[in-house]
Amino acid sequence: MSGDAPVQPRDGLRELTGYHSPQLDVAVRLNTNESPYPPPPGFVSAWLDALGGVPLNRYPDRAARDLRTALARHLGQPVERLFCANGSNEVLQTLLLTYGGAGRRAAVFEPTYALHSHIARITGTEVVVGERREDFTIDPSAAAQLVEDAQPSVVFACSPNNPTGTVEPSATIEALLGATAGLVVVDEAYGEFAGDTAMSLVGDDGRLVVARTYSKVWSMAALRLGFCVAPPAVVEELEKVVLPYHLAVPTQLAGLLALRFGGEMEARVELLVRERGRLVEALGAFESLTVYPSGANFVLVRVAGDAHGLWERLVERGVLVRDFSSWPRLEGCLRVTVGTSDENDAFVAALRGALQEVAA
Ligand SMILES: *Cc1c(COP(=O)(O)O)cnc(C)c1O
């Protein structure tokens, strides 16, 4: 394929495969962990009104001061600890551009969010892989050993972990912090669904960074806004590395105005947590499924039998979930995003039909 291309990309990039999460046009899409609810209408009109008054010939505030100040207040953190970017993926990329790179290593614990190792490789950072336990938790002492041996500059933990839903106890994060001389980055893209956070462990002189996103919890995946809470010295370095004016005015305004609708956003989170409970209970009734505990807005199941065949039968019934069955360490696994109660009912009904068909 690329052998015919006139110019080759840098060594180390050729063997990368792009990030794909296939989209299909079906009625019930439960494959990308988006919120099934749009943001509150009041937010959308406040945002559109504010956009109307913006001088479009001027660059945005490079320091995103208003947004960072409001977020800091919302989180009970000093503003100097806030770094904002285009989705938390850009936060992760900026962290790796700053603290990773040639001759440096990043540690991940698989199976986990694929973009941690993917972005690491793109930035020339070597990836060191630790294994999770059978129940998908990180073994703190094995992890500490790996970190002591490999001396990574960045250690990733994801809590709740995507795609397994596993919530990591803070003792594990503290074990990682104790073992490494590098940064520990806790990706909390789903943190609000767990109610558990490592944010209180972030200190001005520490090495802990907590990354979050508006994409899932705040129903704003289209707007691309993420942030991290980090020691001020880290934030200063990130600001040097990230492109100037990377955060467009509509994004900054959206982040600022959404915070006024915190109550409505929290109600959505509570609704999804309740639906997750209902979904886990319904899934538990199927004998051929192993259901993993989840602190996120999705649930991972392991199927006894042909998981990809089951995924296809669900698609035939108009339901799209995420097929992880061909991924290492996730043999037989499918991940379903928590949708509206109607969508979850449709999924469970489709699953019942599909499993009966497989068994017949
Ligand atoms: C979705 C996701 C992200 C990235 O989200 P953005 O849309 O870039 O903010 C980061 N980490 C994890 C674990 C995710 O699942």
Nearest to 54 by CA among 223, 244, 254: 254
Among the residues of 242-303, which ranges form H helices?
A: 249-258, 262-284
Give the position of tokens 């795609």: 163
Contacts (Cβ under 8 Å, ≥6 apart) of 88: 187, 189, 211, 212, 213, 215, 226, 227, 228
Residue 187, ligand 1, Cβ within 6 A: yes
Are residues 254 and 215 in contact, defined by beta-carbon separation less than 8 angstroms? no
Sign for the CA dihedral angle at 140, 144, 147, 153 comes to: positive
DSSP 81: G
Give Cβ neighbours of residue 307 (< 8 Å, ≥ 6 apart): 323, 325, 331, 332, 333, 334
CB 219 within 8 A of CB 35: yes
- Expressed in angstroms and rounded, the spacing between residue 3 Cα and the centre of ligand 1 is 32
Pocket of ligand 1 contains residue 158 by CB under 6 Å = yes
Give distance in angstroms: CA of 55 to centre of ligand 1.
31
Please state the atom number of ligand 1 nearest to the C-alpha of residue 158: 13
The whole model's pTM is what? 0.96
- Tell me if 86 CB under 6 Å of ligand 1: no
User: From first to last of its 360 residues, what are the pLDDT tens digits of the chain?
Assistant: 555 778 988 888 887 876 666 688 899 999 999 999 999 999 999 999 999 999 999 999 999 999 999 999 999 999 999 999 999 999 999 999 999 999 999 999 999 999 999 999 999 999 999 999 999 999 999 999 999 999 999 999 999 999 999 999 999 999 999 999 999 999 999 999 998 899 999 999 999 999 999 999 999 999 999 999 999 999 999 999 999 999 999 999 999 999 999 999 999 999 999 999 999 999 999 999 999 999 999 999 999 999 999 999 999 999 999 999 999 999 999 999 999 999 999 999 999 999 998 776
Q: Tell me how far apart the alpha carbons of residues 230 and 74 are, in angstroms, rounded to a whole number.
A: 15
Count of other CB atoms within 10 angstroms of residue 245: 12
**CATH for the 41-260 domain, from 3.40.640.10, 3.30.830.10, 1.10.3720.10, 3.90.850.10:** 3.40.640.10
CATH 3.40.640.10, the chain: domain bounds:
41-260
CATH 3.30.70.100 describes domain 28-39+263-359: no
Segments of the chain assigned to CATH 3.90.1150.10: 28-39+263-359
